[in-house]
Amino acid sequence: MSTPQENAIQYATAHRPEFLARLVDLLAIPSISTDPEHHPDILRAAQWLADELKRLGATDVEILPTEGKPIVWGELAAATPGAPTVLVYGHYDVQPVDPLDLWESDPFLATERDRSLFARGASDMKGQIVATLAALESIRAASGARESDDRGGYPVNVRFLLEGEEEIGSPSLESSIDRYREKFTADLCLNPDTGMISPDHPTITYSLRGLAYFEVRLRGPAHDLHSGIYGGAVENPAHVLCELLAGLHDQEGRVTLPGFYDRVRELSREERTELARLPGGDQAYLEQTGAPALFGEAGYTAVERVGARPTLEINGLLSGFTGKGAKTVLPATAMAKISTRLVPDQDPEEIRRMLMEYFETNTPETVTCEVEVLALGPPLITERDNPGNRALAGALQAVWGVAPLFKREGGSVPVSIYLERALGMPSVLTGFGLPDDNLHAPNEKLDLPTWYRGIETLIHFFHNVS
């Protein structure tokens, strides 16, 4: 006689085309959170998810208003009273798609090529949300629950927190968790927004970097000037910007802000040994990035630099004339977007103060400087051996036949720290995206065989955690 897991997996295997169609449908909504023009698409994506939760037999579904984009909330009741509760986290917003001309197919018309599905959000993270919903649908179907049932035959209670502003740093998430804390209370959070190291290496993430993101704007002359008629008499704000930004690193790539590394938790010998066992390493980084050479803080491997060391990056530069040909302009303004990735125990607010002070102290009187905070999210580190991670490790082992790897992730998932801080809730961090999925870049993709395995893994997980 087959187990409920086996029945659910059988259902999932038979219904792959329907799951894929549902993902394509969600991917067609250009829910770009950073662009106010796409706000209606944010609302459409939220409604799409609310409808899906109803279809799964949710006892209650709400689109919760926040100070920013709405949160989709819902609740699926366990078959057995007293079962534990899992909060499923996801974000339904996506990154912008420019430069559009580098996409090989329409970013919002998901296209299958080889074994991958190409679309903005396919991997980050609409694919991960739809995989979770597909796992729950399979569990419900295998339990024999009818569409009209209130209780869906689930082994655990499931709640949802699906936000719409992760790609802009989740500015109103912390206040929303406070405001709706009753609704989000659970034993643990499943967060499938991190990825795998390779298709053959299921991965659990136990540490995330924080993010502090800024826009720096310098103004010199009141308007663009002729570089012949005025060049030499006034300071060029683009020069000042380059000097200020160049002054943030030393020649070895270390950030030079005073105190920047003071709170960085050093890696233990044991953890470095474990991280060194992760496959890929420097060669993999070279291949994935296509960079001529690797570069970074001396004394650390690429895996360590990305996972356990903080960085400060320029994300964008704009000044003066950038079209074709020559325009002899002395620009009135110069703009940079810069962001730091933070590791435990750095504090984003403290980093913000350091950066503000740096620009205040070093901007000459020949220009004015304005720094706007666009995101502030702290870093996170979790216990590798907690109940959630154990349930997930078993699920991954069951599907892949190998023990999962534990890794530190270079990206930022502010929700996990907020949940820990507000509700004492641990997060289980995983996901079925791959390093070459082109997240935040043109031609984002999702590896479909890995995605199908992900659905099976989540079926196991919801049973294991019960």
Residues 39-98 that bind a second copy (CB under 8 A): 95-96, 98
Which of residues 147, 230, 299, 360 is near a second copy by CB under 8 A?
A: 230
Are 244 and 403 in contact by the 8 Å Cβ rule? The answer is: no
CB of 40 to a second copy, least distance (A): 16
Closest approach, Cβ 69 to a second copy, in A, equals 12
35 touches a second copy by CB under 8 A: yes
With respect to a second copy, which residue has the nearer C-beta, 136 or 413?
413
CB of 13 or CB of 315, closer to a second copy = 315
The yes or no reply on residue 427 touching a second copy (CB under 8 A) is no
Contact (CB, 8 A) for 109 and 28: yes
Distance, CA of 7 to CA of 429 (rounded, Å): 26
Instruction: State how far the Cα of 33 lies from the Cα of 29, in Å rounded to an integer.
Output: 12
Site for a second copy in 295-314 (CB under 8 A): 295-297, 302, 305-306, 309-311, 313-314
Q: Report the nearest approach of a second copy to the CB of residue 192 (Å).
A: 16
Show Cβ contacts of residue 17 under 8 Å, excluding neighbours closer than 6 positions.
none
> At what angle are helices 16-27 and 39-55 packed, to 10 degrees?
160
Find the shortest distance in angstroms from Cβ 14 to a second copy: 34
> Pick from 312, 339, 337, 308: which is nearest to 410 by CA?
308
| Shortest Cβ 141–a second copy spacing (Å) | 35
Q: Tell me whether residue 20 or residue 330 sits nearer to a second copy (CB atom).
A: 330
Q: Which is nearer to a second copy, 10 or 227 (CB)?
A: 227
Q: How far is the CB of 112 from a second copy (least distance, A)?
A: 21
Q: Which of residues 431-450 bind a second copy (CB under 8 A)?
A: 435, 438-442
Q: Which is nearer to a second copy, 340 or 457 (CB)?
A: 340
Three-class secondary structure of residue 329 per DSSP: strand
How far, in whole angstroms, is CA 105 from its chain's centroid? 23
- Can you tell me the distance from the alpha carbon of 332 to that of 320, in angstroms, rounded to the nearest whole number? 7
Between residue 311 and residue 330, which ones bind a second copy under the rule CB under 8 A? 311, 313-330
CB of 462 to a second copy, least distance (A): 28
Task: Out of 291, 349, 385, 449, point to the residue binding a second copy (CB under 8 A).
Answer: 291
219 forms beta bridges with: 333, 368
Candidate residues 43, 63, 356, 374; the one interacting with a second copy per rule CB under 8 A: 374
User: Under rule CB under 8 A, which residues in 241-280 are in contact with a second copy?
Assistant: 241-243, 245-247, 249, 253
Q: How many CA atoms lie within 13 A of 425 on its CB side?
A: 26
Which one, 14 or 291, has the nearer CB to a second copy? 291
Q: Cβ of residue 244: shortest distance to a second copy, in angstroms?
A: 8
Q: Which residue has the tokens 């001309």?
A: 101
- For a second copy, the closer of residues 118 and 160 by Cβ is 118
1 vs 233 by CB, closer to a second copy: 233
The DSSP output letter for 229 is T
Residues 155 and 462: beta-carbon distance below 8 Å: yes
**What's the first-to-final CA gap in the chain, in angstroms?**
21
Q: Which is nearer to a second copy, 20 or 244 (CB)?
A: 244
Which one, 264 or 423, has the nearer CB to a second copy? 264
Indicate the SS3 state at residue 429: strand
Residues in 152-171 that interact with a second copy by CB under 8 A: 167-169
Tell me the site size for a second copy, rule CB under 8 A: 99
CB atoms within 10 A of CB 256: 12
Q: How far apart are CA 125 and CA 131, in angstroms?
A: 10
Smallest gap, in angstroms, from Cβ of residue 345 to a second copy? 18
Q: Which helix (H) or strand (E) holds 368?
A: strand 368-377
Q: Which of residues 195 and 454 has its CB atom nearest to a second copy in the complex?
A: 195
Instruction: Please say which residue, 126 or 239, places its beta carbon nearer to a second copy.
Output: 239
Q: Which residues contact 307 (CB under 8 A, 6 or more apart)?
A: 207, 209, 275, 343, 407, 408, 409, 410
Contact 26, 45 (CB under 8 A): yes
100 near a second copy, rule: CB under 8 A = no
Rounded to the nearest 10 degrees, the angle between the axes of helix 4-14 and helix 16-27 is 60
Please give the residues from 169 up to 228 whose contact with a second copy meets the rule CB under 8 A: 169, 209, 211, 213, 220-228
Which positions from 333 through 362 interact with a second copy, judged by CB under 8 A?
334-335, 337, 339, 341
**Minimal distance in Å, beta carbon 226 to a second copy?**
5
Contact present, 341 and 226 (Cβ < 8 Å): no
Candidate residues 235, 274, 347, 350; the one interacting with a second copy per rule CB under 8 A:
235
Interface residue with a second copy, options 90, 410, 414, 426 (CB under 8 A):
410
DSSP string computed for 83-108 = --EEEEEEE--B----SGGG-SS-TT
